[in-house]
Amino acid sequence: MDFLKPRLIPMTRRRKIYEGKAKTLYEGPEPGTLIQHFKDDATAFNAQKHEIIDGKGVLNNRISEYIFNNLNAIGVPTHFIRRLNMREQLIREVEIIPLEVVVRNVAAGSLSTKLGIEEGTQLPRSIIEFYYKKDELNDPMVSEEHITAFGWATPQEIDDIMALAIRVNDFLSGLFLGVGIRLIDFKIECGRLWEGDMMRIVVADEISPDSCRLWDVKSNDKMDKDRFRKDMGGLVEAYTEVARRLGIMKDDEPVRTSGPKLVQ
């Protein structure tokens, strides 16, 4: 008898839309929405280096929620709707533009390596760079000429993306400086949000210490993913400190990474 068979598919099973290195996207509760799930996976150097860092996903979910909520509040459009639980947030489904948009205020990382500018040098002005999102090609840097010629975005969309990137940079620089943190550089991704026949470009993905370089103003200590890239350790402690300074977590609140465990 069919109805006596045990349910093989749990009620909670959701349709997976996409699985990335640090996040998974599931079908959302309503059309046009998705659930973004933050994993503990840390990857670098195009995923050649990979580790699970207990608690990272929970912290990034909270920090990204805080930043996107504030961006929405100051009128910078984003895909973010609300956080659902420790690791998940409800977002609007957008058509991701296949570019990583990097904004730099201070020389570090690949800019320092490629152009021989010492890490920590203040740049004469903020610089925006574009990288084509393609793992097989190691995300090569591309120019506006490439972007328009290959149809990844139109000239108008590039203008909108750059305007968003500058507004995000202004907001984040002030936010972090207010809590004793220097915003060295960061990466955003943008998407096309369709509302009927109308389309606008919004900030998508995440903004967290995984996608920013954050240095303590006084000590220059790194409070970001470079701790993993450079095998420095103390990543969860650094991300927790970022969350505490932003007032997201209380001073004595431990990072809860999972539900209660069964003690036998």
Q: Is 223 in the site for ligand UDP (CB under 6 A)?
A: no
Of 59-67, 80-88, 102-110, 195-203: span binding ligand UDP (CB under 6 A): 102-110
Tokens 């990583």 identify what position? 100
Least separation in angstroms between CB 116 and ligand UDP = 14
Neighbours of 27 (CB within 10 A): 14
What letter would DSSP give residue 11? T
CA-based nearest residue to 99, from 151, 62, 53: 151
Of 83-91, 118-126, 145-153, 211-219: span binding ligand UDP (CB under 6 A): 211-219
Q: Is 102 in the site for ligand UDP (CB under 6 A)?
A: yes
Q: Which amino acid is at 148?
A: T
Site string for ligand UDP, 25-64 (x = CB under 6 A): ----------------------------------------
Going from the C-alpha of 246 to that of each of 108, 147, 174, the distances in angstroms are 24, 36, 12
Q: Is 182 in the site for ligand UDP (CB under 6 A)?
A: no
Of 6-14, 57-65, 207-215, 247-255: span binding ligand UDP (CB under 6 A): 207-215
Going from the C-alpha of 251 to that of each of 82, 95, 96, 202, 255, the distances in angstroms are 24, 39, 37, 33, 11
Nearer to ligand UDP, 100 or 160 (CB): 100
Going from the C-alpha of 49 to that of each of 16, 21, 45, 226, the distances in angstroms are 25, 11, 6, 12
Cα angle 136, 142, 147; round to 5:
100
Nearer to ligand UDP, 66 or 215 (CB): 215
Site string for ligand UDP, 120-139 (x = CB under 6 A): -------------------x
Count the site residues for ligand UDP by CB under 6 A: 14
Q: Could you tell me if 98 and 147 are in contact, meaning their C-beta atoms sit under 8 angstroms apart?
A: no
For ligand UDP, the binding residue among 37, 79, 182, 187 (CB under 6 A) is 187
Of 59-67, 167-175, 185-193, 230-238: span binding ligand UDP (CB under 6 A): 185-193
Q: Is 98 in the site for ligand UDP (CB under 6 A)?
A: no
